[in-house]
């Protein structure tokens, strides 16, 4: 029996578009003499559909589409079956009234063959808001020639039941234990698992543990693509009954593979080592590209200051959009150094993107003059600094509106955490590209970009090969907002090498003051940073979507109230 793995990039809520994609995949599978096509979790909807699931009209449309799809597949591809993910309505008066389900479309009909058992409610997941949990494992009995295959089916989180690996606590139900008693031939896990660096290794460990326990092959099939703030990396794979990887699908791309369940698939996969910096870069490029495509943008706009943050965002945008579709603008004030202006222009020239300079000196003077003239007020200090940033933000938004550009925000995680950013200024934009990268991470990625080890990535994205991408002048420049005379970031916040370590412990590890002191950090500095984090909460609530890379971003999975007691 031949199983056709379809690692696809659906558009959330586009039921008809996704169905058309599935029909095209069925055609390709049929040409490959496949017997069964498998697709990721909620593949007809795209993941996560969120409150679209509350729309009864969409649930009705889904069922009409399934009827049409069943008829088309039977008419054009005979006995080919396709497994896909849907939202199954429950016919009773209680809520939630849906199952996260899997159907088999075959021989002109569709039928439910599995329902999700373990519903995640951590990080970005909120599945108990929409779905009920199933209480029994699913086995598909699939007849092929003279054999009836017993195929175990799990949906994403149903596989994550090993506390020693996944670390979120033991679930009351363990689908893997239950499946061990059923005598299955192999296991399917149909997933929509968002990317984080930590998760790549955990997925393989979880799957290997299950294969070793069941002593059966496992197909792990994951969604790929960017949906809002989430990036799905694909990276689907097949493990043999010993838990050894026999096939690896591509990262951050749609990919397809026909697996013969009758053959001995015990050969090991030879994989190219990919650095974590390349993985992060690939993730961000896909996140930007899909956000733009799915939201209807064809061009990007960046405020290019000559600093390292806007430089990295510009490189990512160039990789995602192509150099002709990236527009950068420098907006110097009297406090911007000549070096910054030159560095911005040289980077734009190196990337061969569209570049302009729009000085804001006269606009700033008009603000200062009008405040004095009409309000008898001198605007100075941080208020004056923020006016400069807000002027730039206003100009960028005007250009974005005028030309239908996607304005990309250039703030990093360190700045967003402590509020070293200006609301309605440098926080403006439709997408925060590097908002889940600490400043020290950004330096590391930029150093990688300028090294020989990035050559494959630069080839792939048509970035400069014969020169540095970022350039030593930008890499060596002390971080500065350049909103005042001789200003440095360290005038307001600790050095990033020290700040980022403390932020990681607070944000990712959830350490309290006592735990941080025990790790050797200065108590006064800890209290200062915690206060800054709390004070900036209202800003983060108004920030653009942040592409998620870590187990704890400052976006949708950061759920801290604004009005809370001070430390």
Mean pLDDT value across the chain: 92
* 346-381: pLDDT as tens digits: 999 999 999 999 999 999 999 999 999 999 999 888
If you average pLDDT over residues 103-116, what whole number do you get? 96
Tell me what pLDDT residue 265 has. Answer: 59
Tokens, residue 55: 């729309």
In whole angstroms, give the CA distance from residue 223 to residue 11: 11
Domains and CATH numbers, the chain: 2-271 (3.60.110.10), 279-486 (3.40.50.620)
Provide the 10 A C-beta neighbour count for residue 559: 5
Whether the upstream peptide bond of residue 197 has omega within 30° of 0, thus cis, is no
Q: Which two tokens stand for residue 111?
A: 């039928």
The answer to whether residue 567 scores a pLDDT higher than 70 is no
Q: Which residues contact 167 (CB under 8 A, 6 or more apart)?
A: none
What is the rounded CA–CA span in Å between residue 12 and residue 223? 12
Picking from 110-114, 259-263, 302-306, 434-438, which range would have the lowest pLDDT averaged per residue?
259-263
515 near 525, Cβ under 8 Å? no
- What is the number of other CB atoms lying within 10 angstroms of the CB of residue 46? 27
Residue 63 tokens, joined? 């069922």
pTM above 0.85, yes or no: yes
Confidence band of 480 (pLDDT split at 50, 70, 90) = confident
Is residue 323's pLDDT more than 90? Answer: yes
pLDDT of residue 174: 87
Residue 226: beta bridge partners? 231
pLDDT band at 36 (very low <50, low <70, confident <90, very high): very high
In this predicted model, which residue has the larger pLDDT, 384 or 463? 463
Confidence bin at 167 (pLDDT 50/70/90): low
pLDDT tens-place string over residues 497-547: 999 999 999 999 999 999 999 999 999 999 999 999 999 999 999 999 999
pLDDT band of 13, cuts 50, 70, 90:
very high
Within 10 angstroms of residue 123's Cβ, the number of other Cβ atoms is 19
Catalytic residues: 41, 116, 156
308-321 and 276-295 are packed helices; what angle lies between their axes, rounded to 10 degrees? Answer: 60
């Amino acid at each position: 029996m031949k199983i056709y793995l379809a690692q696809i990039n659906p558009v959330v809520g586009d039921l008809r578009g996704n169905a058309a994609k599935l029909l095209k995949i069925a055609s390709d599978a049929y040409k490959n003499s496949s017997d069964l096509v498998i697709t990721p979790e909620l593949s007809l909807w795209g993941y996560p559909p969120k409150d679209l699931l509350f729309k009864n009209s969409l649930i009705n449309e889904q069922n009409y589409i399934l009827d049409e799809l069943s008829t088309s597949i039977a008419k054009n591809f005979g006995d080919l079956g396709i497994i896909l993910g849907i939202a199954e309505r429950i016919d009773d008066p209680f809520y939630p009234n849906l199952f996260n389900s899997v159907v088999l479309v075959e021989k002109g009909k569709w039928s439910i063959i599995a329902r999700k058992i373990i519903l995640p409610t951590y990080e970005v997941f909120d599945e108990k808001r929409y779905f009920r949990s199933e209480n029994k494992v699913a086995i598909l009995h699939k007849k092929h020639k003279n054999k009836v295959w017993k195929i175990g089916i799990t949906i994403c989180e149903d596989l994550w039941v090993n506390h020693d690996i996944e670390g979120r606590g033991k679930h009351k139900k363990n689908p893997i234990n239950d499946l061990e008693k059923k005598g299955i031939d192999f296991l399917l896990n149909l997933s929509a698992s968002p990317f984080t660096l930590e998760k790549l290794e955990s997925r393989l460990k979880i799957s290997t543990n299950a294969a070793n326990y069941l002593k059966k092959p496992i197909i792990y099939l994951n969604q790929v693509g960017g949906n809002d703030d989430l990036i799905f990396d694909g990276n689907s794979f097949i493990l043999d009954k010993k838990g050894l990887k026999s096939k690896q699908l591509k990262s951050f791309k749609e990919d397809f593979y026909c697996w013969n369940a009758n053959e001995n698939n015990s050969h090991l996969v030879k994989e190219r080592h990919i650095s974590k910096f390349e993985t992060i870069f690939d993730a961000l490029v896909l996140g930007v590209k899909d956000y733009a495509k799915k939201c209807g943008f064809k061009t990007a706009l960046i405020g290019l200051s000559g600093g390292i943050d806007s430089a990295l965002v510009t490189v990512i945008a160039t990789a995602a959009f192509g150099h002709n579709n990236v527009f950068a603008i420098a907006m110097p004030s009297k406090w911007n150094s000549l070096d910054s202006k030159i560095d911005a222009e040289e980077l734009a020239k190196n990337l061969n993107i569209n570049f302009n300079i729009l000085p804001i000196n006269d606009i700033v003077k008009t603000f200062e003059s009008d405040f004095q003239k009409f309000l008898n007020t001198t605007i100075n200090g941080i208020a004056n600094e923020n006016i400069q940033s807000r002027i730039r933000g206003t100009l960028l938004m005007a250009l974005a509106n005028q030309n239908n550009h996607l304005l990309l925000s250039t703030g990093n995680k360190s700045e967003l955490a402590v509020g070293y950013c200006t609301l309605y200024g440098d926080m403006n934009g439709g997408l925060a590209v590097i908002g889940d990268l600490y400043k020290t991470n950004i330096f590391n990625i930029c150093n990688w970009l300028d090294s020989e080890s990035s050559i494959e990535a630069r080839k792939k994205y048509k970035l400069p090969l014969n020169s540095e991408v970022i350039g030593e002048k930008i890499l060596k420049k002390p971080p500065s907002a350049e909103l005042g005379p001789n200003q440095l970031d360290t005038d307001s916040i600790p050095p990033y090498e020290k700040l980022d370590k403390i932020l990681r412990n607070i944000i990712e590890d959830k350490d309290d003051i006592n735990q941080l002191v025990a790790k050797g950090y200065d108590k006064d500095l800890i209290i200062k940073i915690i206060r800054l984090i709390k004070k900036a909460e209202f800003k983060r609530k108004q920030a653009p979507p942040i592409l998620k890379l870590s187990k704890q971003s400052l976006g949708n999975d950061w759920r801290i109230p604004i009005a809370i007691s001070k430390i």
